[in-house]
Amino acid sequence: MKIKVCGLRQQGNIEQVVALQPNFIGFIFYDKSPRFVGEELDEEYIRSIPQNIKKVGVFVNANPGHILNMVKKYDLQYVQLHGNEIPDICRSIRQKGVSVIKAFSIDEKFNFAMLNNYKSFCDLFLFDTKGDQPGGNGTAFDWKLLGKYDNEKPFLLSGGIGLENIEEIITLSQTLPIYGIDVNSKFETEPGVKDIAKLEELFSLLRVKEQEEAEA
């Protein structure tokens, strides 16, 4: 189970999260988000983050030119498209050698069949809760809806993930291609600042689980 920690922007806090060795680390380039990076990111430091931690830029209906400029500036390996981007946008970014995560907001009306239009142009899907904001709403959708997912494309699960529902996700992962989890607001002391103690608990919980499974 991969771990993506999203919504970082403060230098000291980023360094603490990097020390935990997540699989992905996410920076939000959407100016209406309370976790918008603004001018806060230290370009040189972000570029120097070890390659085994994949850097993800999160964008909402942004101009592809702007996205690619940010990819170049911070040496991002992944772009997460969290708006209403059409498959063509995913394709054009991926053709530039950037991995694409396409996020979808899930509720009971979501049509999983439309994912077929995207799957050739994305590396991963991300399923988040449909809410007032494009992401970071802090609530989980009804994960039973994932029973309708009939695609082989692996996905990240997002939305309201906290220490209290990790066991449920581990159980889900036995029947669904859950590539990893995307954590954000439930692991914060304030928007954009991660609670390191809580993250440490999450990491040790998942890594102990992995160890047990490896030995089983």
Higher pLDDT, 50 or 208: 50
3-state secondary structure of 163: helix
Does the pLDDT value for residue 215 go beyond 90?
Answer: no
Helical pair 196-215 and 11-19, crossing angle rounded to 10 deg: 20
Q: If you search the block for the tokens 């603004």, which residue do you land on?
A: 38
The fraction of the chain above a pLDDT of 70, given in percent, is 96
pTM: 0.94
Task: Pick the closest to residue 37 from 3, 14, 4 (CA basis).
Answer: 14
Q: How many domains does the chain have?
A: 1
Confidence of residue 212 (pLDDT cuts 50, 70, 90): confident
CATH of the domain at 197: 3.20.20.70
Residue recorded with tokens 């230290």: 42
pLDDT in tens, 103-151: 999 999 999 999 999 999 999 999 999 866 655 556 899 999 999 998 9
Q: Determine if residue 186 is left, alpha or beta; phi over 0 gives left, psi from -120 to 50 gives alpha, anything else beta.
A: alpha
Q: What is the pLDDT of residues 159-174, one digit of tens each?
A: 999 999 999 999 999 9
Domain span holding position 191: 2-215
**What is the structure's pLDDT at 133?**
64
Instruction: Tell me the CA distances in angstroms from 47 to 15, 53, 54, 80, one per residue in order.
Output: 13, 11, 11, 18
